[in-house]
Chains A and B, each alone.
Chain A
Amino acid sequence: MRALRILLEKEFRQIFRNPAILRLMFMMPTIQLLLLPLAADYEVKQVKVCVVDFDRSSYSQRLVHKVTSTDYFQLVDYTDSYDKALRYVESDEADVVLQIPEGFEKHLVKENEVTVFMALNAINGVKANLGGAYLRTIINDFNGEVRVEWLQPHGMNAQPVIGVEAINWYNPLMNYKIYMVPGILVILVTMVGGFLSALNIVKEKEAGTIEQINVTPIHKYQFVLGKLIPFWVLGLVILTIGLIISWLAYGIVPVGSLLTIYIFAAVYLLAVLGMGLGVSTLANNQQQAMLLSFFLMMIFILLGGLYTSIDSMPRWAQVFTWFNPVTYFIEVMRMVVLKGSSLFDIRWHIAIVFLMAIVLNGFAVFNYRKRS
């Protein structure tokens, strides 16, 4: 016990004597939490649309007016040349071209059917997709409006129209910040835990101090615990800072209990630190450790469901996310913060991440040898 205590004492002394690390630890969550959620906004606004109107009728006018009256679309030009419109797309001045054919009004009235043409600039996939979807919705709306107008005057038997109203449960205003901030907080905790623990042990390897410790009679588990505990505490401190910032800056107060978040985070940090320790047993110097950690982090974060929905990933990537601890924490954070899930609701998440912690730490302890 005395040995473990002095190991911890030494570790904390070293951390507090390294002002750069301390500063980074407090600045990283603050800056990331203040900046990233603002940038990570999926709402596409200001889609630049160019309308090619070969009809120039009152109906086509009405359609164009309907499109441009929302703040999702910005009219670039209203023209009668498709080539001109394409040139706008080429020079990146327009994202979408809407072409209204000749005889639009005539066909609509006489034949009850007409086709409009949409061309999307797919270089920015998200913008093209969403822009196209918005435009389709507006055209459908227009379609409905027109039909209702025609049918109403004929009397009683009004054509039934099915309207859809959606309610966004747990995030009524679809505020992306509420959705992103808990996820970004997870990334922060993961980075601090994963990087710092990996670099710390490798630093001892580089300085040769690990050999001085290896020739002493202390046990492997004492050494590993002496490294785990300080970064476990740091991880929880970062989480606390992050929760305070998301409350102060975004007014996000978890619907669920804070205790649930901390219990899961405590288990989760064990897994992340285990990974960091594992990396440090594989790497011989800080550069290797840094690159290896970076590689793992990139994969875990990009395939963690923060930026892209896991449901839209290919099958193999979905299978991978089952083994990705980041996925579970992001899910748990969103469940507890937005929905108010209880410990019972996340019991499987805890069990799985706990299993990961055992496997990762087991690997680290097994791979850390006091001799070569």
Chain B
Amino acid sequence: MTSAIQVDRISKRFSSGKEGITALKDITFNVAKGELFGLVGPDGAGKTTLFRILTTLMLADSGTASVEGFDVVKDFKEIRKRVGYMPGKFSLYPDLSVAENLAFFATLFNTSLKENYELVKAIYQQIEPFEKRKAGALSGGMKQKLALSCALIHRPSVLFLDEPTTGVDAVSRKEFWELLRGLQDAGISILVSTPYMDEASLCDRVALMQEGKIMDINSPKGITENFGKPLYAVRNSNMYELMQRLKTHPAVESCYPFGQHHHVVFKNSTLSEEEIRSLIAPLAGAFEVRRIEASIEDSFMKLMHQ
């Protein structure tokens, strides 16, 4: 059985200035049929470039890639019939209404809303009351839903979503991920990118990307399990001073701010909690410390500093 997406040593450079920028370097991964695969990484990691190559909008410098068994260079026409692409930036016609946008893209794919209503129903029902409204006048969350409807209207077998939740409120984000789960149940393979680490845990598998390279590919659980060393969250009343002191302490391997706590990893992973308490005590007045499970962000921070 072929995978939904196969990427083999894809590289891409952009020439700007003297040196140029390496956007992607030897990227290799597979997305299985029906899988919800996440690309996680900060802005500038190369996620959008990768999407543009896979959706046949850009040519890679080297390496090969295929979608549903079709080569992105040779068989681009077949791919365009089979994939749905939702770019990071809202790219529908703001001066056309919701219904007009949908009808427009449906016709370009030689289908109609009626034909594939079942598939988009769950999403489209939420924006149906605003059918006559211009797309440009919709709220951020509504825009995303319309864009997703347009990307789905021709019943694609692979869906590419480039940062679909960036700039969307927390409630809409949660809803959006639930919708993706529903699409997965309909048999659609999904490649989704996000800069939000907390969303990575909602994928079947994720690739952590940084500066055009993939640092790790695993299930969210696998990634956090690979963290290896015990992790502690510390806080006191003067967080800034605490950070300075922890960073310079010889027993501390790494320390970084994380919400209201500092996350600390010690060089010696066999230290007991008692020993750690006595270690921190001289550095901070009244303080709190507890052992925590590593999150994907912690894994990312660790991989980034390697």
Contacts and interface: CB of A to CB of B under 8 A. Distances in A.
Contacts of A372: 57-59
Interface stretch (B24-32, B97-105, B170-178, B291-299): B97-105
B87 interface: yes
Name the residue in B59, B90, B100, B107 with the highest tally of chain A Cβ atoms < 10 Å from its Cβ: B107
Interface stretch (A2-10, A122-130, A269-277, A281-289): A2-10
Given A3-B110, A217-B81, A218-B108, A211 B95 contact: no
A62 interface: no
B34 to A, nearest CB: 22
A207 interface: yes
A207 B91 contact: yes
A2 B110 contact: yes
A13 B135 CA distance: 14
Name the residue in A6, A212, A216 with the highest tally of chain B Cβ atoms < 10 Å from its Cβ: A212
A215 B80 contact: yes
B57 A6 contact: no
Interface in A203-231: 207-209, 211-218
A18 interface: yes
Given A10-B96, A14-B96, A214 B57 contact: yes
Given A3-B107, A216-B80, A216-B108, A207 B94 contact: yes
A17 interface: yes
Contacts of A208: 87, 89-91
Main SS at interface, chain A: helix
B157 to A, nearest CB: 14
Contacts of A209: 91-93
Contacts of B81: 217
B95 A2 contact: no
Contact of B87 (A211, A218, A370): A211
A152 B77 CA distance: 95
A255 to B, nearest CB: 44
Contacts of B91: 207-209, 211-212
Contact of A371 (B58, B93, B94, B95): B58
B85 A215 contact: yes
Contacts of B194: none
B153 to A, nearest CB: 10
A211 B57 contact: yes
B104 A6 contact: yes
A2 B92 CA distance: 20
A10 B104 contact: yes
A75 B96 CA distance: 66
Nearest to B79: A215
A209 to B, nearest CB: 5
Main SS at interface, chain B: loop
B56 interface: yes
B161 interface: no
A17 B135 CA distance: 13
A371 B56 contact: yes
Interface in A282-308: none
Given A6-B103, A6-B107, A10-B104, A215 B96 contact: no
Contacts of B150: 212
Nearest to A214: B57
Contact of B109 (A5, A13, A207, A217): A217
A13 B134 CA distance: 12
A41 B77 CA distance: 58
Q: Kindly state the interface size class of chain A when it binds its partner.
A: 20 to 34
A32 B150 CA distance: 43
B123 interface: no
B55 interface: yes
Nearest to B106: A6
Given A2-B107, A208-B89, A215 B83 contact: yes
Contacts of B87: 208, 211-212
Interface string B28-71: 00000000000000000000000000011111000000000000
A214 B87 CA distance: 12
Interface in A1-37: 2-3, 5-7, 10, 13-14, 17-18
Contacts of B80: 215-217
B281 to A, nearest CB: 56
B154 to A, nearest CB: 8
Nearest to A5: B107
B144 to A, nearest CB: 14
A218 B154 CA distance: 13
B107 A215 contact: no
Contacts of A371: 56-59, 76
Given A3-B110, A371-B56, A372-B59, A13 B83 contact: no
A3 B108 CA distance: 5
B111 to A, nearest CB: 10
Interface string B223-238: 0000000000000000
A342 to B, nearest CB: 44
Interface in B103-134: 103-105, 107-110
A13 B56 CA distance: 29
Given A211-B57, A371-B59, A14 B89 contact: no
A160 to B, nearest CB: 77
A286 to B, nearest CB: 15
Given A2-B110, A212-B85, A10 B93 contact: yes
25 contacts: A3-B108, A10-B93, A13-B95, A13-B96, A14-B95, A208-B91, A211-B57, A211-B85, A211-B87, A212-B85, A212-B87, A212-B105, A215-B55, A215-B83, A215-B85, A216-B108, A217-B80, A217-B81, A217-B110, A370-B56, A370-B57, A371-B59, A371-B76, A372-B57, A372-B58
Interface of B: 55-59, 76-77, 80-81, 83, 85, 87, 89-96, 100, 103-105, 107-110, 150
Query: 3 closest A-B pairs (Cβ-Cβ)?
Result: A208-B91, A6-B107, A216-B108
